[in-house]
Amino acid sequence: MFSLQGKVALVTGAAYGIGFAIAECYAKAGARVVFNCRSRAHLEQALEEYKAKGIEAKGYLCDVTDDRQVGDMVADIEKELGSVDILVNNAGIIKRIPMTEMSAEDFRQVIDIDLTAAFIVSKAVLPKMMEKKRGKIINICSMMSELGRETVSAYAAAKGGLKMLTRNIASEYGGYQIQCNGIGPGYIATPQTAPLRQKQPDGSRHPFDSFILAKTPAARWGTPEDLMGPALFLASEASDFVNGQILYVDGGILAYIGKQP
């Protein structure tokens, strides 16, 4: 039920971090994995790292906000490996800037990568999924699909939008036996969150790091590997009647009011 044997899986932005762990897990479940990123250095290093794990991943230099580059990549995947059975819209960025100081250009860039790109890549793979009458799209959402906090207005707007794009794809294409679900990771230790965990000059924890430990019932940061099981579930036959859901993988953050004083 959890096998991905014979499936082609495209995980965007899987050069490192959460995407890399999801792609690794899919490869171990039998899928042929494809990823993309923007930096050639990241691409080459990732290819080495996949190889070191015994995974034959195919990597593309492709910016997910550019529909021409995405179209070329998807056409090439279809030619080389066959059409995409599983798409994970994982590529994302964050800009932590107070809203009153943020330029509209910065705001648009976050929306472009974290939201519009999921539309662009999904649109590129949907026609073949509709032809085959099966397919899985998994959007990597966030705590910020539900919650706000200081400095992340663009990110929260994008991830809130991505939750609704997920529900809309499920609504619009569910009849083709295509499932579109989201994963909402909690606070996961990756390069994206490294600044929030940086040690203080005196060696103590960053105040945000301590805040997250207190706010998470599991009392730890998540790891990219924590996303493997949920991502496999949503990519496999095991979730064929699950559609339009966001699975929060957050160590319990969203269930918790916070430590009493």
DSSP strands (E only) in 23-145: 32-37, 58-61, 86-89, 135-140
Least Å distance, CB 17 to ligand NAP, is 2
In this chain, which of 148, 149, 171, 210 binds ligand GCO, going by CB under 6 A? 149
152 contributes a contact to ligand GCO by CB under 6 A: yes
Q: Three-state DSSP class for 36?
A: strand
Output 47 or 93, the one with its CB closest to ligand GCO: 93
Output 80 or 225, the one with its CB closest to ligand NAP: 225
Q: Distance between CA atoms of 172 and 166, rounded to whole angstroms?
A: 10
15 contributes a contact to ligand NAP by CB under 6 A: yes
185 contributes a contact to ligand NAP by CB under 6 A: yes
Least Å distance, CB 58 to ligand GCO, is 27
Least Å distance, CB 85 to ligand GCO, is 27
Is residue 97 classed exposed, middle or buried when 0-12, 13-18 and 19+ CB atoms within 10 A define those classes? middle
Tokens linked to 131: 């032809």
Number of residues that bind ligand NAP (CB under 6 A): 29
Q: Distance between CA atoms of 195 and 69, rounded to whole angstroms?
A: 31
Q: Decide if 155 is catalytic.
A: yes
Scan for tokens 């490192």, then name that residue: 16
185 contributes a contact to ligand GCO by CB under 6 A: yes
Q: Distance between CA atoms of 31 and 235, rounded to whole angstroms?
A: 10
Whose CA is closest to 182, among 235, 133, 131, 224?
A: 235
Output 31 or 113, the one with its CB closest to ligand NAP: 113
Name the active-site residue from 26, 50, 60, 155. 155
Secondary structure letter of residue 116 according to DSSP = I
Q: Distance between CA atoms of 254 and 141, rounded to whole angstroms?
A: 14
155 contributes a contact to ligand GCO by CB under 6 A: yes
Output 11 or 126, the one with its CB closest to ligand GCO: 11
Element (H, E) at 185: strand 178-185
Tokens linked to 216: 């998470």
Least Å distance, CB 122 to ligand NAP, is 14
In this chain, which of 7, 57, 88, 90 binds ligand NAP, going by CB under 6 A? 90
| Residue positions annotated with a catalytic role | 155
* Contact positions vs ligand GCO (CB under 6 A): 94, 96, 142-144, 149, 152, 155, 185-187, 192-193
